[in-house]
Amino acid sequence: MSRFTHRALKKVGSSPGTLVHVGERKLDKVRLSVMHYTADSLTERTIDEVEEGLDLVKEGTTTWLNIDGTHDVALMENIGRRQGIHPLTLEDVLNTTQRPKSEVFDDYLFVVLKMLRYDTDEESIASEQISLILGENILISFQEAAGDVFEPVRERIRKGKGRIRGFGCDYLTYALIDAIVDHYFVILDHVGRRLEQLEEGIDNHPDAGLLDEIHAVRRELIYLRKQVWPLRDIISLLLKEESSFFSDTTRLFIRDVYDHTIQTIDTIESFRDILSGLQDLYLSIISNRMNEVMKVLTVIATIFIPVTFIAGIYGMNFTHMPELEWRWGYPLFWIVVVAVVVGMIFFFRKKRWL
């Protein structure tokens, strides 16, 4: 359950806005990189001091400062001071268990969401928190660790492909959110495949192992749902907020990513429905099988129990048992046995058990 509650207990009772890193420390050293571009020019480099990035910010250009690793509290405070970021925002950036949300401040817009990737080894969803702070001519992105799903966006910036170089920071913010949401479809595709395997498994060998798999997929869907539902409100807010963080042009694109979010949510709900149906199906098949087992037992036992009793009778050692000495006693015994068996079979046929 830790995935649901690991909001570290060390935070409890601390002053709000206290900068304490909450979560697993996934990197040794914080890594800073910057992309600075206009329609015509591009600088991309790794930097040592955050000031190298912040100093690039200039009207008419776009600066994207990306920070891998949020455990360097001094660095975070430095950025907060330089950019006028509220301590509560910094606190949320450091808290890797933050619920996805978006908040408008006077000078910047703050978005937290979960970048999800499917860990095929563990057969479970791996999550990394991404925080975006959109200010004037600058976008700062925070990640828990190196590695992300933004490489295609960087590639488009490098090659000047699409409209990304010509548009500003708001479009870049959109592009990153879009990259994250696009990746949710990869997750859903994996989950969909597990549902297909489950369905096939239920058809072909509905054994006890499937129960664990049903349960595991349900857990994944509960987790996914918790991460994806807040996106609806986050992106609604971006669409509606009245300050001028987003141009009308970019807002059309945000409507597009909103559309994808709804589709993701719809698919999760459909998957839950399907999983619940598969569970019902599995349990019904188990139940049906038990029924069949019981019928076989009943048929065999019910046929043999009476005739075994008859055999038992003529195994008795009473001195006076006339049947034993009859000439046709033994053949008669067999006639009775056959009659009982045939009668039973008729009875079972009528009951449709055979």
CA angle 251, 168, 246 (to 5 degrees): 30
Quote the tokens at residue 352.
């449709």
Cβ-based nearer residue to Mg ion, 83 or 143? 143
Q: How far apart are the first and last CA of the chain?
A: 49
Cβ-based nearer residue to Mg ion, 179 or 307? 179
Which residues have C-beta within 8 Å of that of residue 52, sequence separation ≥ 6? Answer: 32, 34
Name the E strands within the chain. Answer: 31-37, 42-47, 62-68, 101-104, 109-119, 124-134, 138-143
Element (H or E) spanning 77, and its range?
A: helix 73-83
# residues contacting Mg ion (CB under 5 A): 13
Q: CA 168, CA 246: separation in Å to the nearest integer?
A: 9
Residues 216-275 that bind a second copy (CB under 8 A): 218-219, 222-223, 225-226, 252-253, 255-256, 259, 262-263, 266-267, 270-271, 273-274
148 binds, among a second copy, Mg ion, none (CB under 5 to 8 A by kind): Mg ion
The alpha carbon of 307 is separated from its chain's Cα centroid by a whole number of angstroms, namely 60
Binding window for Mg ion (CB under 5 A); candidates: 91-99, 106-114, 190-198, 219-227: 91-99
CA neighbor of 136 nearest in space, from 99, 100, 82, 180: 82
81 binds, among a second copy, Mg ion, none (CB under 5 to 8 A by kind): none
Going from the C-alpha of 27 to that of each of 31, 69, 143, the distances in angstroms are 9, 6, 10
Cβ-based nearer residue to Mg ion, 50 or 344? 50
Q: CA 171, CA 74: separation in Å to the nearest integer?
A: 30
Contact of 230 with 100, CB cutoff 8 Å: yes
The single residue among 30, 42, 211, 340 that binds a second copy, judged by CB under 8 A, is: 211
Least CB distance to a second copy at residue 29 (A): 28
The alpha carbon of 43 is separated from its chain's Cα centroid by a whole number of angstroms, namely 37
The single residue among 57, 73, 145, 299 that binds Mg ion, judged by CB under 5 A, is: 145
103 binds, among Mg ion, a second copy, none (CB under 5 to 8 A by kind): a second copy
Q: CA 89, CA 112: separation in Å to the nearest integer?
A: 10
β-pairing, 62-68 with 138-143?
parallel
Residues 266-325 that bind Mg ion (CB under 5 A): 277, 280-281
Residues 26-55 that bind a second copy (CB under 8 A): none
The alpha carbon of 267 is separated from its chain's Cα centroid by a whole number of angstroms, namely 12
Site membership for a second copy, residue 298 (CB under 8 A): yes
Residues 84-143 that bind a second copy (CB under 8 A): 86, 88, 91-92, 99, 101, 103, 105
Residues in the chain: 354
Site membership for a second copy, residue 279 (CB under 8 A): yes
Cβ-based nearer residue to Mg ion, 148 or 220? 148
Site membership for a second copy, residue 330 (CB under 8 A): yes
Site membership for Mg ion, residue 143 (CB under 5 A): yes
Residues 142-181 that bind a second copy (CB under 8 A): 149, 151-153, 156, 161-164, 174-175, 178-179
201 binds, among Mg ion, a second copy, none (CB under 5 to 8 A by kind): none
Residues that bind Mg ion (CB under 5 A): 92, 143, 145, 147-148, 178, 182, 215, 218, 256, 277, 280-281
